[in-house]
Each structure stands twice: as C-alpha cells, then as structure tokens.
C-alpha cells in the first residue's frame, strides 16, 4: 500500500500550470485537465508497480489542509460565499490572498507541517464557525479513478488533527468544542463514499505521535466512536512522523479497521502493537522511509516484519512511513549523479518497487525477490564499508565555548569596530534581481565563464556597497548576489554533499526546493565565501559583515545520511563552518553573522526529546563560531514570530548580536529577552519586509523607542526583520533611508535628554 505520491509532477508540471493560471496564461479548464492527467499518471504508475492499495485525494492543487477546509466549508467570511462559479479563485485567495476593490484580502496563515519542510495553510476556526459539505473532492476523485478501472482509498485529514492544527479566532476558545459540529460533515463524506462502494478510506491523525492532553485523547475516542456508528467504508487510521508512545493504547483501542504506524521512526512500537491490536484489525507497517532518500535495506525490513507476518497474515500491510510527497519523484531522472551514490538512493518511484518487494518477500519467501534482495544486500554492504566518520564529529566542550564573558567581549569589540549607539545594519541579502538570476543560470549552463560571472558578482557587490554607503548604514553587507540558496550554496562547496538536478519537493504551494543530499563525511575543501567578503571590504572603510549559514540549518534543509546520529553529522558541518569563520577573521572580517533559521523547526515533536536536541543544536552553533577572538563579533538572525519555547536556546547560542523578527509581533520578544538573563545585543526588526509598504521614519522610530523600553540603549541595533532578497530596489532604498533617519532621530533625542540644554557645544 502507499500513503501518498508527490503532487508536483516529475517535471514540475503542476507549478507551471498553477502559476500560469494565476498569471492568466492558462485557463481554468486547462489547469483542471493538467491536474486530472497528473492524478491519472500517479494512479497508473502505482498500479503498474504492483501497489494493491492506492491512495486518492493525496493530490492537491495547493495544500491538503486547505482542501480539508474547503471540504468541511471552513472558509472565513471575508472570502465570501465561494459559489461554484468562483470556487477556484476563492481557493487560491485562501492560499495567497487577493486584491479586492475593497482592499487586500488576507490569506490563511501558513506554518510547518509537523517537523517537515512542508508548510500547510492554517484553518481559522472559532465559536462562529459552521461546517457544511463545501466540496466533494475526495468523492469526485474516487469516481475519477474508478472510471480508469482503479479502486482507490481516499485519504482525509482526520477530524481531530484538523481541529488541533487550526488557529482559534478568539482567545481562550477551545477548538475541540467544534468536534460535534464537524463530525456530521465527515459522516456525510464517508456515507457518500460508502454508497459508491468505496471499500477503504484513510483518516490521517498524525497528532497521535505528539504529546496529548486528557481532553485531546478523549476527543479521539468521541470522534472515532461517532464515525463508527454510521455508514462508512472500512477505516484505516494513519499515524506518522514518530511513534505512538503513550498514545499507543489509545490508538490501538479506537474503533477502526486498520492502523498505520511509522516503523522508520518508531520500530520499537511494533511488538507492543502486535499484542494490543484487536483481532481482525489491519496493521499497516510503514517501513520504507517517506522522509529520506536512502534505498531500503530489504533484508532488514523482512526481518523486522517476519514475526508480524506470521501473526497477522493478510492483515499485515506494507507501506511507506508517511506520504511520499516529502521525497523527490523519480531517481531515473538523475543521470549526472555519481553511480555509487546513485545506487544507494530511492526516490518516490523507486520506493514503490521496494514496497512491492517487501510485501512479496514476506508472503512468498525471500526466493521470490532474489534479485532485488541481492542488489539491496550489495548496497547495504557498500554503505557499511564506506569509511565511517573519519572527520572530526566529536563533541569538544572547550572548542564550543568562548573564553571571555559577553561583557568582556563587548568591550573588546568596541575597540576593534567602533560604532555609534543604535548601529544600523541589514540582515544580509539584497534584491535578487532578474539580471542576477539570469547571470547565474548562464553560468550554470556554461554560457558565462567563471571569470565573467565573477566580474558580474563583483559589480553587484560594488553596487550594494555604494548604495549602503550613500544611505549611511553603519555595518554593511555584500548583498549575496553569488548565493543561489542559503543552504545549496554551501552544500555545493562542502565535501560530503551531492546536488540533484530534478530532486524537487514541495515546500508550499508552487514553491519547491531541491534539498542537497548529505551522504558522507562533511569537510571544507576550500574557502567558500572569503573571496566575496574580502572584495566587499576592499571597497569601503565601513565594517562589512561576513555571512554564513549555520550547521543546524544546513542539516535541516538537506537529506541527511541515516547511518550515524544527526548530532554527529551536525558537528561535522559545524567544524567545516568553523574553518570558514577562522578564514574570514584572518582576512580582516571582524563581524560575522551565522544564520540558523531552522533551529526551531528541527525541534522534536515530543517535549521529552527537545532538551536533548537543543543541547546539541546550540553546541553546534557555538562550535562553528566560538573559535574567534574576543574582538570579533558574532551575529545571528532568527525570523519566527514564536520565541517563547526556544528563548533559552537563543541565549545558549552565545552570539554577540541577535537580529530578530519583531516588526509584526510588536516588540513582544524583547520583553521575553529582557526578562531572561540574556546579555547579547539585540536587533529587533523595525521594517516588516514581508509587507509591500515602505514604512516611514516616524513609524520605525516608534518601534526603536519601544525597544528602548525593554533594553538599554547600548544593546539595541536597528535593522529590517529579514533579508531583502525578495524585495525590489525601489522599496529597499527608501525604506533603508527611512530606517537610518529613524535611528538618527532617536540618537539625537537621547543626546538631548542626557545633556541639559545650555551645555551643548556643537
Ligand atoms: Zn529572516
């Protein structure tokens, strides 16, 4: 069985038609036809591979949680009635917002889908929410597959997870209060599927692998008892992204016909489940990794599932750990990869063959899959024998601590890099213009020589430096014209990483990413950023800040080897970054920013695992940065609205300056930081760069004054709340000019306040 296929198409067909529709180049009919063709290809591919239970409704034009909102009619009032005539436009307006005669229509918020790099749209639910059957997508697509002669299993987000993944529109509102109103819509969908003769339906409840309150557990019992009491197909309850843990008894006791569990992340739950699963219930064993790109060790899977097969017989299903939407489509497209590495990989298409091989091996014996098993054994031996950790992966407490206190360092840094109070800077990137992207593409395709591309980047750097000088910023950046992506750029330059050509996975909507594959020991072969930084600094007497991506973010945004602990792999990356930091310092760069935007998203789903993660994650950041002298200033940047649960980790980074998103959250994070024993400087973002409006100097001065309510003046920096690569120069120039004016006006006000009138001798 399979839990879901990649939705984007092997050649990113979905992106092209959806974006074409938004731009008016593609008609609605054409978009719908592309989607239909894509679904048909997916079902046929799976059937041809020998998958017996094929999922349906795993496809989405944008996001499956948004699809669920539409199915249950949970569309906020501001989007109107969503009459059939404009359903497609309402759908995309929910996802992306829209320009209306009355103003801008705000889309649903977006957030991370558990601990993946996929983002879902957050349902907005409150006391006013009424549910109704708003879309029959799962029913229609079930019928669509049947017309092709394929019986499919519709996949729905389960009702409890749907509610708990939502955002309450009123403070204090309990989302679970909506369960009695929501369940009738699910009953309606299930009844209609049942009438069509649909045999199995899958309800996804990934919340079952997280910490649940007593209320939340009770909601699962209520919901599934109610659904069991009315007409419906047989129900497979699917959990993934972790083990059930203390929810195992709860999940095994729910009145469903099958239970899917993630045996990649939680193999130890298999035995207790075999003991507790009611007679007649199907166990769907997720043994093929849906979150990573490594080939399955078939012999290992057969050994793991052998005893289950003996006890359950045909009540044992073999599946991927989760939907395959989190891995690239087809390895066959990767013709440039090193053959030895390639032999170790499996993308979605190859994972289907693995599922079939495991099921066949279990039911017919290993002789039935002799060839597949031989290949798998060979790869397993090759991986085991390929030089384990030879690079330094060890934890080194002395290397991950700066000797001097934050206070001593501040004194030393004032000598090395004297700055005015409320120093102004930016987060690092400047607009990635069409010309920059074009030059990069020409360089990648060989149409622009290394020398010419180098000269092009230098010209861009000079433009960015001159612009910052004329605006009057205090700490400059080189603008990052040479970076294609903050992780890919480094992965392409570090040993131990490989890049794919077509390995796209959906991040959200039509935004896809191509995560690098970290397959071996990570070391720095040579300098990665030094050339550009030295060039930028040679152009100006103002300090230029060096820009690097941190080890945790490089780890989180890559497909990572699974033959050693993630912490060890992260330490290797940290050592490699540390060498680059040392080279920057020797080259005269005395302010170095190391960004860790993924620190928070790497957090384990279970509270009990979080401290362990944060310990090694912050240690890795320090390992990368703590080798510098006292006078070299380490910056980092964070851009998430919720800081509460990682405030201690931010402090544990031991950076000298932290720039943070604060423009939207109204400086609230500063209060949290000032209440803690945090001693570093803070640069609260005073310009929300995600908003298209250019803020005035007065607005930004007000935000600086708010920051000064929480922190002493000698610890506050002035900066935008994120990098500027997505903005246009026409916005960047006036906004930064206003920002510098705001900092200056507050400085003048402070001087006037401190020195009594009459004593001024200017
Ligand atoms: Zn940011």
Helices then strands, each counted (H, E), the chain = 26, 23
Length of the chain: 762
Structure confidence at residue 640 (pLDDT): 66
What separation in Å is there between the alpha carbon of 276 and the centre of ligand 1?
A: 47
Q: How far is the CA of 114 from the centre of ligand 1 (A)?
A: 20
Choosing from 300, 635, 690, 761, the catalytic residue is: 690
Residue labelled with tokens 């690092």? 428
Paired residues of 576 in beta bridges: none
**Short-list 324, 364, 361, 359, CA closest to 2:** 324
Q: Please write the tens of the pLDDT for every residue from 423-440.
A: 999 999 999 999 999 999
User: Each residue of 577-609: pLDDT tens digit?
Assistant: 999 999 999 999 999 999 998 898 889 999 999
Beta strands per DSSP E along 207-336: 234-238, 258-262, 282-288, 316-320
Ligand 1 centroid – CA 28 distance (Å): 35
What is the distance in A from the centroid of ligand 1 to the CA of 20? 29
306-320 average pLDDT score: 97
Measured in Å, residue 106 CA sits from the centre of ligand 1 at 21
C-alpha 621/C-alpha 141 separation (Å) is 47
CA of 691 to the centre of ligand 1 (A): 13
Dihedral (Cα; 86, 88, 92, 95), 10-degree rounding: 100
Catalytic residue list contains 119: no
CB of 259 within 8 A of CB of 224?
no
State the distance from the centre of ligand 1 to the C-alpha of 719, rounded, in angstroms.
Answer: 11
**pLDDT at residue number 392:** 53
Enter the tokens of residue 318: 């073999």
Phi, psi of 323 (to 5 degrees): -55, 145
CB of 484 closer than 8 Å to CB of 430:
no
Give the three-class secondary structure for 104. Answer: strand
Nearest Cα to 1, choosing from 55, 39, 48, 42?
55
Answer for the pair 324, 3: CB distance below 8 angstroms, yes or no: yes
Distance (Å, rounded) from C-alpha 299 to C-alpha 297?
6
Stretch 2-12: mean pLDDT: 94
Q: Output the CA 724–ligand 1 centroid distance in Å.
A: 9
Q: Which residues have a Cβ under 8 Å from the Cβ of 251 and sit 6 or more positions away?
A: 205, 208, 220, 237, 239, 244, 259
Structure-block tokens of residue 511: 């935004």
> What is the CA(723)–ligand 1 centre distance, in A?
6
Sign of the torsion formed by the C-alpha atoms of 262, 264, 266 and 269: positive
Q: Compute the mean pLDDT over every residue in the chain, rounded to the nearest whole number.
A: 93
Question: Could you report the per-residue pLDDT of 207-258, keeping only the tens digit for each?
Answer: 999 999 999 999 999 999 999 999 999 999 999 999 999 999 999 999 999 9
Centre of ligand 1 from the C-alpha of residue 464, in Å: 19
Q: DSSP H helical segments within 472-548, as ranges?
A: 488-491, 530-538
Find the 428 Cα to ligand 1 centroid distance in Å.
9
Cα 758 to middle of ligand 1, angstroms: 44
Residue given tokens 């939340």 in the structure block: 216
pLDDT above 70 for 636? yes
Rounded to 5 degrees, φ, ψ at 120 are -110, 165
Rounded average pLDDT over 700-725:
93
Cβ pair 263, 286 in contact under 8 A: yes
Which residue, chain included where needed, has tokens 């200017």?
A: 762
Q: What is the pLDDT of residue 601?
A: 84
Whether residue 396 is predicted with pLDDT greater than 90 in this model: the reply is no
Q: What is the DSSP letter of 758?
A: T
Which H helix or E strand runs over 193? helix 179-195
Alpha-carbon dihedral 629, 631, 632, 635, rounded to 10 degrees: 120
DSSP-assigned letter for residue 713: G
- The larger pLDDT score, comparing residue 109 to residue 458, is at 458
pLDDT of residue 457: 97
The b-or-e profile of 238-258 (16+ CB within 10 A means b, else e) is bbbbbbbbebbebbbebebbb
């Amino acid at each position: 069985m399979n839990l879901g296929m990649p939705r984007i198409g092997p050649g990113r067909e979905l992106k092209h038609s959806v974006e074409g529709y938004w731009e008016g180049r593609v008609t609605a009919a054409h978009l719908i036809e592309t989607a239909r063709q894509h679904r048909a290809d997916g079902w046929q591919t799976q059937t041809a591979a020998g998958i017996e239970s094929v999922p349906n409704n795993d496809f989405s034009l944008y996001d499956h949680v948004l699809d669920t909102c539409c199915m249950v009619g949970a569309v906020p009032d501001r989007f109107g009635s969503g009459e059939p005539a404009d359903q497609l436009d309402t759908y995309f307006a929910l996802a992306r917002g829209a320009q209306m005669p009355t103003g801008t229509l705000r889309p649903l918020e977006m957030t991370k889908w558990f601990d993946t790099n996929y983002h879902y749209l957050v349902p907005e639910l409150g006391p006013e929410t009424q549910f109704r059957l708003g879309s029959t997508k799962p029913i229609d697509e079930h019928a669509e597959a049947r017309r092709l002669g394929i019986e499919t299993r519709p996949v729905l987000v389960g009702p409890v997870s749907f509610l708990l993944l939502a955002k309450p529109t009123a403070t204090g509102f309990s989302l679970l209060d909506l369960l009695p109103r929501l369940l009738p819509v699910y009953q309606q969908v299930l009844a209609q599927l049942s009438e069509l003769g649909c045999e199995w339906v899958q309800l996804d409840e990934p919340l079952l692998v997280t910490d649940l309150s007593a209320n939340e557990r009770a909601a699962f019992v209520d919901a599934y008892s109610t659904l069991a009491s009315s007409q419906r197909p047989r129900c497979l309850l699917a959990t993934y992204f972790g083990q059930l843990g203390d929810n195992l008894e709860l999940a095994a006791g729910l009145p469903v016909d099958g239970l899917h569990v993630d045996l990649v992340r939680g193999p130890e739950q298999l035995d207790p489940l075999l003991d507790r699963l009611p007679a007649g219930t199907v166990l769907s064993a997720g043994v093929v990794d849906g979150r990573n790109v490594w080939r399955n060790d078939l012999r290992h899977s057969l050994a793991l599932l052998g005893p289950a097969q003996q006890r359950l017989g045909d009540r044992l299903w073999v599946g991927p750990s989760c939907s395959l939407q989190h891995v690239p489509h087809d390895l066959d497209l990767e013709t440039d990869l090193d053959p030895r590495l390639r032999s170790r990989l499996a993308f979605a298409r190859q994972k289907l063959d693995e599922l079939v091989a495991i099921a066949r091996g279990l039911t017919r014996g290993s002789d039935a899959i002799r060839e597949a098993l031989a290949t798998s054994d060979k790869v397993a031996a090759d991986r085991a024998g390929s030089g384990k950790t030879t690079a330094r992966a060890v934890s080194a407490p002395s290397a991950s601590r700066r000797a001097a206190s934050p206070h001593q360092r501040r004194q030393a840094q004032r000598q090395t890099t004297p700055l005015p109070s409320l120093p102004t800077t930016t987060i690092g990137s400047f607009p990635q213009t069409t010309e920059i992207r074009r030059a990069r593409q020409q360089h990648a395709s060989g149409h622009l020589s290394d020398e010419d591309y180098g000269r092009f980047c230098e010209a861009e750097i000079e433009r960015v430096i001159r612009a910052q000088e004329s605006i009057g910023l205090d700490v400059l950046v080189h603008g990052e014209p040479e970076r294609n992506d903050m992780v890919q750029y480094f992965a392409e330059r570090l040993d131990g990483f490989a890049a794919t050509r077509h390995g796209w996975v959906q991040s959200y909507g039509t935004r896809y990413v191509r995560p690098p594959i970290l397959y071996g020991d990570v070391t720095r072969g040579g300098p990665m950023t030094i050339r550009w930084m030295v060039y930028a600094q040679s152009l100006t007497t103002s300090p230029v800040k060096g820009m690097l991506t941190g080890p945790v973010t490089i780890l989180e945004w890559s497909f990572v080897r699974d033959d050693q602990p993630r912490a060890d792999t992260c330490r290797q990356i940290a050592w490699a970054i540390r060498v680059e930091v040392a080279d920057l310092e020797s080259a005269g760069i005395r302010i170095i920013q190391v960004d860790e935007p993924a620190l928070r998203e790497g957090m384990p789903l279970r509270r009990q695992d979080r401290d362990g993660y944060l310990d090694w994650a912050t240690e890795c950041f320090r390992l990368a940065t703590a080798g510098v002298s006292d006078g070299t200033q380490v910056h980092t940047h964070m851009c998430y609205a919720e800081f509460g649960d990682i405030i201690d980790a931010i402090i544990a980074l031991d950076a000298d300056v932290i720039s943070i998103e604060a423009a939207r959250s109204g400086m609230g994070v500063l209060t949290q930081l000032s209440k803690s024993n945090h001693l570093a400087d803070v640069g609260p973002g005073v310009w929300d760069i995600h908003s298209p409006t250019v803020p005035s100097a007065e607005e930004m001065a007000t935000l600086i004054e708010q920051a000064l309510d929480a922190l002493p003046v000698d610890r506050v920096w002035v900066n935008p709340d994120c990098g500027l690569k997505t903005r246009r120069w026409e916005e960047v120039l006036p906004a930064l000019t206003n920002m510098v004016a705001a900092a200056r006006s507050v400085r003048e006000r402070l001087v006037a306040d401190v020195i009594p009138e009459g004593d001024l001798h200017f």
